[in-house]
Structure 1
Amino acid sequence: MRRAADTARRDARAAQRDRRLTDGTVAAVANAGFARHFVPRRWGGDEGTFAEVFRAAAGVGEGCASAAWCAVLWAAHGRFAALLPEEGQKEIWGEGPDVRIAAALMPPSGSASRVSRGWLLQGEWDLTSGVDHAQWMLLAAPEADEPGRPVRVFAVPRRRVTVHDTWNATGLRATGSNTVVLDATVVPDSRSVPLAVLLAGDGGGDAPRCHAAPAHLAGGLMFCAPAAGAARRALTVWNRWARTAAPGGVRPLDRASVQERLARSAAEIEAAELMLCTAADRADVGAITEAATAVNRRDATLAVDWLATAVDRLFRTGGAHLRDAEGELHRHWSDVLTVASHGALRLEPAAEAYARSLEAHGGGDA
């Protein structure tokens, strides 16, 4: 894992410039085992824990949040693909578990129509992080001919889609979260599953915990992992600046106002990471309940807000050279704020789910 973090840090400037991860970083992330982390053991995967993948992604995030973002999503999408029918899983992992899967699940797009022994799928999907280095895709589309247009997820080889270079964001620049277009393609039933099944998890009694967990129990904390690592590194970079004497021999850290901002930001970063680690443990070993899921959603949204607040405070406190657009602190600041703006980490729906869980179960947290 350390090699992946070191490689990501070494290549971060090139990745920012090119708006895609370097081949060296992708290889290091692959060797660290992210793609296989949640893959079923029968295909050679690890069926790993959420705590493990959170810590690993946060470590990579110290070097490059874009690399950590792609890494944790490649892991998460393997977890979703494990809910496909057996034949579809074999197509993906029959030759080995280290298969990188990109996805466009929310919001659904395109359309799917029933045909003999499968589905006719076509459309355009935005924000497919990591697609440049993926081998398979998971694409969510509504069923065009069904009342209510229920949504299904389809596994499609990466070579079948056309990628349009549309991602040019300030933060997470190297994720390559581009737009993909799929011309009308027949996808067999073996490579399709209702989106509701992916969100609910495998309810079978013998399913490994990482596949049984519903998406909202662990999804938010995995999204937060790159931001946790980037915030940790931002604090290190800022501390280096604060301890360096300015002209006249006075260090920024000798000022009371700077000391206060350091204390606040350091405490918020540490508290956020502790809360996310607790959420990961809850996802791994706690009872799978509506209340536990709601608490984890709540904690992920609040933790990432603390991380963004802490890093933004450090950024605004730093000197002009520290805030240079080409500097390391600027990269971590923009990455953390971009993660915090993700739709999956919005407080409003998480707060609503938490409040409803309390009403349904009569009070306290999981």
Structure 2
Amino acid sequence: MIDEAACRAADLEGWLAPAQQALIHREGWLRMLAPRACGGAELPLPDVVRLEQAIAARDGSMGWVVTLCAGALWFAGFLAPERARAIMATPDVCVAGSGAPTGYADKEGDGFRITGRWDYASGAPMATHFTLNAVLRERGQVLLDEAGRPRIRAFIVPARHVTVEPTWRSIGLRASASHSYRIDDAWVPADHGFAIAPEAATAPGPLYRFPFMPLAFVTLGANLLGMAQHFLALARPLLTARRHPATGLAVVELPAVAARLANATAAMDTAQCEFYAALDAAWAAAVAGAEVDSVALQRVALAMVETCRQAVDTIYPYCGLQAAHGDSDINRVWRDFHTATQHAMLVPAG
């Protein structure tokens, strides 16, 4: 696995270090959710989520890029098989993208002409393709669905049609390079479009019957868990080395601090157990062809994220000025964690 020096360098440079990129491609992590039939690994979802947690526990930006870009290649299971095979045959294939429908796709001949601008494409510098959602139009008129709302379709577009705009200036996940991108009047064949729904899957198997929203929640949640675990691992030696000015005791020996650390660790352990129990049960249901309880799984994932938030924010005040130094490892992890919590899907309900 990558050492801390590479992670520090990536944070400063604003993009994953060459060794990190090489490791991602060598291990085939971006292909782990893509169908076997088109060159992917098609791993069981619980295995993927546990791996993503482990990567994020080493480096938040690398975990985030792997998670978002591997998730985008999951869409290969919803593309026309010929198109999916062609994309997967791309050397060092990597798909970045955005879910917001901030562009238009105009019907033109046997395809669509796409124009728009999208934000937050993690992994953009190494993307060979980009995914996006666009509002459908025909002869300049927005097409509406049965409820009278604009029709939206997902597309995958080769990087040659895309202009990346270096807009990512967040305090954390700096090396994820989650830049904006735009497409100016690019025509793509119709088979670059797809629908993300179990009934629209073109690949067999439970991975493509698993609903999108809970899949997104569990993969993102695992990243927050990994980052929080990394933070606590870095905090413990700081709490041991730091002395209370009045008593001379190590901060970790103060009863109130020791109790907070023990409670935070125990709460995260419990949340992790509940999270994986729910994920494993949902996966077993998908394998059996039964319905996945999406609401329950999302609830457990969000509860785990909230537990991680509380754990990190409870321990941070005791870590000393080193945790506030922008070039320290623990500060990088703290910044990564709190940036990741701002993902739209992870906003607390109340």
Give the structure-1-normalised TM-score.
0.86
Aligned residues: 338
1:238 deviation in Å? 0.9
Identify the residue that residue 117 of structure 1 maps to in structure 2.
110
| Alignment map for 1:3-14 (pairs within 5 Å) | 3=1, 6-7=2-3, 9-14=4-9
Name the CA distance, whole Å, in 2 between partners of 1:99 and 1:282: 32
| In the alignment, structure 1 residue 230 sits paired with structure 2 residue 207 | no
Counterpart contact for 1:202–1:213, Cα < 8 Å? no
Describe the SS at the equivalent of 1:140.
Answer: strand
Structure 2 distance, partners of 1:206, 1:187, is 22
Letter in structure 2 aligned against 1:241: L
Distance in 2 separating the partners of 1:206 and 1:137: 20
Question: Is residue 20–residue 174 contact of structure 1 (8 Å, CA) maintained in 2?
Answer: yes
SS in structure 1 at match of 2:40? coil
Structure-1 residue corresponding to 2:257:
258
CA drift of 1:202 comes to 4.4
In structure 1, C-alpha distance between the alignment counterparts of 2:155 and 2:183, rounded to whole Å: 12
Separation in 2, partners of 1:46, 1:111:
33
- In structure 2, distance between residues paired with 1:245 and 1:309: 22
Where do 1:54-203 residues align within 5 Å?
Answer: 54-94=49-89, 99-105=93-99, 107-144=100-137, 145-147=142-144, 148-193=149-194, 197-198=195-196, 200-202=197-199
In 2, the alpha carbon distance for the partners of 1:201 and 1:104 equals 20
Measured after TM superposition, the shift of residue 290 of structure 1 is: 6.6
Matched residue type, 1:332: V
Alignment correspondent of 1:240: 237
Partner of 2:47: 52
1:87 Cα shift? Answer: 2.6
Map of 1:275 onto structure 2: 274
Q: What is the percent sequence identity of the aligned residues? A: 26
Deviation at residue 277 of structure 1 after TM alignment: 1.7
Aligned alpha-carbon RMSD (Å): 2.1
Moved more, 322-331 or 138-147: 322-331
- Aligned pair in 2 of structure 1 residues 206, 33: CA closer, same or farther (>3 Å)? closer
In structure 2, give the amino acid aligned to 1:222.
T
Contact 1:282/1:292 (<8 A) preserved: no
| Unaligned runs of at least 5 residues, structure 2 | none
- Alpha-carbon distance change, 134 to 15 in structure 1, aligned in 2, over 3 angstroms: same
- Secondary structure of 2:30's match? coil
CA offset at residue 295 of structure 1? Answer: 0.7
SS in 2 for 1:137: strand
Which secondary structure does the structure 1 equivalent of 2:107 belong to? strand
**For residues 202 and 99 of structure 1, what CA distance do their matches in structure 2 show?**
26
Listed one character per residue, the Cα deviations across residues 73-92 of structure 1 (whole Å, up to 9, x for unaligned) are: 12111111220112321220
Measure, in 1, the Cα distance between the counterparts of 2:18 and 2:114: 31
Superimposed CA distance per residue, residues 18-49 of structure 1 (whole angstroms, 9 cap, x where no aligned partner): 11111210111222221110111122221112
Distance 1:48 1:202, change over 3 A: farther
With over 3 angstroms needed to count, the CA separation of the structure-2 counterparts of 1:207 and 1:119, relative to structure 1, is same
- Compared CA separation, residues 254 and 347, structure 1 to 2 (3 A): closer
Cα offset, 1:336, TM superposition: 1.6
**C-alpha contact 1:227 1:335 (8 A) present in aligned 2:** no
Asked if the contact 2:30/2:73 (under 8 Å) is kept, the reply is yes
Identify the residue that residue 362 of structure 1 maps to in structure 2.
none
Mapped pair 1:318 → 2:319: yes
- State how far apart, in whole Å, the 1-side matches of 2:192 and 2:9 are: 36
Decide whether the 8 Å contact of 2:162 with 2:183 is kept in 1: yes
Question: In 2, distance between residues paired with 1:298 and 1:289?
Answer: 19
Please say if residues 132 and 176 of structure 1, whose CA atoms lie closer than 8 Å, have aligned partners that are also in contact: yes
Change (3 A) 1:55 1:173: same
Report the secondary structure of 2:42's partner residue: coil
